[in-house]
Structure 1
Amino acid sequence: MTLTQLEIFSRVAELAGFTSAATRLGITQSAVSHAIKSLEQELGVELFRRHQAQVELTDIGGQLLLRARAMLGLAATLEQEAADARGMKRGTLRIGSFGPTSSMRLLPSILEEYRREHPGIEVHIDEGPDRQVLQWLEERRVDVGFVVLPEERFDTFALIEDQLMALIPAGHALAREQEIRLEQLCHDPFVLTEAGSAELVTRLFIGAGLSPNIRYRSSQLLSTLETVARGDALSILAELSLPPAADARYGSKPLSPPVRRQVGIAVLDRRQASPATLAFIQHAQRLYRHPKPSILR
């Protein structure tokens, strides 16, 4: 068993296909097929079920994938530590990011400084809902991820804090209110964005014993904003996820009582983090060690 075989196995599993894995890795499809066949023969188990152009993991294949990613992660850490000791600042950093708060507010400044000091590190950014970033961390598909705190499963580092805001169409009666109580958002249609603070918003209603009238679910922030702007629904979003430029079609109001949200970065295990990952954490903490949201506006 080789690391190359494990890398090919991991890519086929991630992309659900031999052809797409070959394209991503820059090798031939026959080389991918040979590597998987050799690995299956060596382990004595079937790793994939073939369905024409696509494949899916078997049960044992899914179990072995977690081990394979752990081994690949440790191998990458060893390579980066050795390169760092030789003064060769090379390696790869895989970042998981959710929504505008991390992708647009935090990452640009962190990466600007990070790339200036570590130009040899290749940075890969995967974007998805907050719960998907957590899954990527657990599966070792990313080295570091932006998360809503607290998250006890990981080693975490707090960066910023903001608050949840009620999003109200301009012509709505609640637009005249200075603050919005949670129960006031339960009568009209509600749009729940499934990125960023979705889990926090859901827990907020459950904890208060309230049930919003959820008529829309959106995986993209822009869709949520447009739904509210049309007057079709109300919503709750984190303050830092809102666009910097005001839109006259809707307004944001603080909740009463206020609900704070803390955002940070997480790694599966700091002791196993690569030098490239640790350097990213240091840069992020230096730039955003609990600054006030107004600084980021």
Structure 2
Amino acid sequence: MPTITQFEIFVKVIDEGSFTKAAQKLHMSQPAVSHAISSLETELGVTLLVRERGKDLMVTDIGKRVLVQVRNLLNSLEKIDEEISLEKGLVKGTIRIATFPSVTAHFLPKIIRTFQQKRPNVSITFKEGSHEEIKEWLSIREIDIGFVVLPCRELDTIPLVKDRYLVMLPDGHPLLQNKQVRLIELGKEPLIVSNGGYEAPILDLMKKEKISINEKYHTSNLNTSLGMIKEGLGVLILPELSLKNLSFPKENVRPLETNLYRHIALGLPSLKGASRTVQVFIEITKELFRETAGRF
């Protein structure tokens, strides 16, 4: 029968993307990690990982399916350990979360501080990614809970805040004379579109309403987008929360006249199956968002 240690090594190799990095994290030798994976594959009678010199580590289809079950098993063992610790009057464990940049910048530090005041023996690990990456990490149980954007029907979700959309305009732009920018007016504008996908719901709505879209430039960095706006090359659609950590003149920003908002929520595979630690994190996060929701 496979051992828990083999399963833990299997997960770590996939998370790190290589045997060498996994060995470093686990304080083991690389041959020992390779032997553990080979032994696991032999006992299961299937190939879980494909490793070829000079190429990225590949997880087989059966490896991906086994990974989900292994993560569930390890998570269940963590919950057992948590329950035993609670029975002994201790609270310990680890919570793994994922966020996207605007949440990381404005909410996560305070959430972590408040959480660790209440659960000082619980460690928090977090990673940052796009909305699609966070959903993927949740689906394979790589994280316990993540910040997502609604709708997100494949997960259990807890709504937190509505984030309105803004339009960032160059100096002297005619639309600066208006208090708001109408959706139809964007059809006349060269749009700077970010790889972060912030404006995707607005572009979908424009297509639905048959408004022409001029995606003039695509950028992977918001600071690049700001420079392009300042040079008069186009306009940018951005949720308000994402704008708050950027250096951009407020007088060049106008609300977008639409009933469409970015709805930020917490997402997890199963609310009923959440550990007590995750439940505490949810309550703390909900409270902090309630305190600040009126500002956005």
Note whether the superposition's TM-score is higher than 0.5.
yes
CA distance in 1, matches of 2:197, 2:90: 36
Give the SS at the match of 2:272: helix
Change (3 A) 1:90 1:285: same
C-alpha contact (below 8 Å) 1:161/1:293 kept by paired residues:
no
1:75 aligned partner: 77
CA distance in 2, matches of 1:203, 1:275: 39
Change (3 A) 1:199 1:275: farther
C-alpha contact (below 8 Å) 2:162/2:261 kept by paired residues:
yes
Paired AA for residue 162 in structure 1: D
Normalised TM-score (structure 1): 0.90
Paired AA for residue 61 in structure 2: D
1:110 equivalent to 2:114? Answer no
1:232 equivalent to 2:212? Answer no
C-alpha contact (below 8 Å) 1:155/1:267 kept by paired residues:
yes
Change (3 A) 1:246 1:11: closer
Change (3 A) 1:26 1:225: farther
1:63 aligned partner: 65
Q: CA deviation at 1:253?
A: 1.0
CA distance in 1, matches of 2:99, 2:4: 27
- For this pair of structures, how many residues does the alignment match? 294
CA distance in 2, matches of 1:283, 1:238: 24
Paired AA for residue 259 in structure 1: L
* Unaligned residue ranges in structure 2 (runs of 5+): none
Deviations 1:62-85 (A, max 9, x none): 222222222222222222222223
Correspondence list, 1:1-297, <5 A:
1-52=2-53, 54-100=56-102, 102-195=103-196, 197-243=198-244, 247-248=248-249, 251-289=252-290, 291-294=292-295
C-alpha contact (below 8 Å) 1:129/1:194 kept by paired residues:
no
Change (3 A) 1:196 1:95: farther
C-alpha contact (below 8 Å) 2:6/2:36 kept by paired residues:
yes
Identity %: 32
Greater displacement, 163-172 / 50-59: 50-59
Paired AA for residue 139 in structure 1: I
Q: CA deviation at 1:25?
A: 2.3
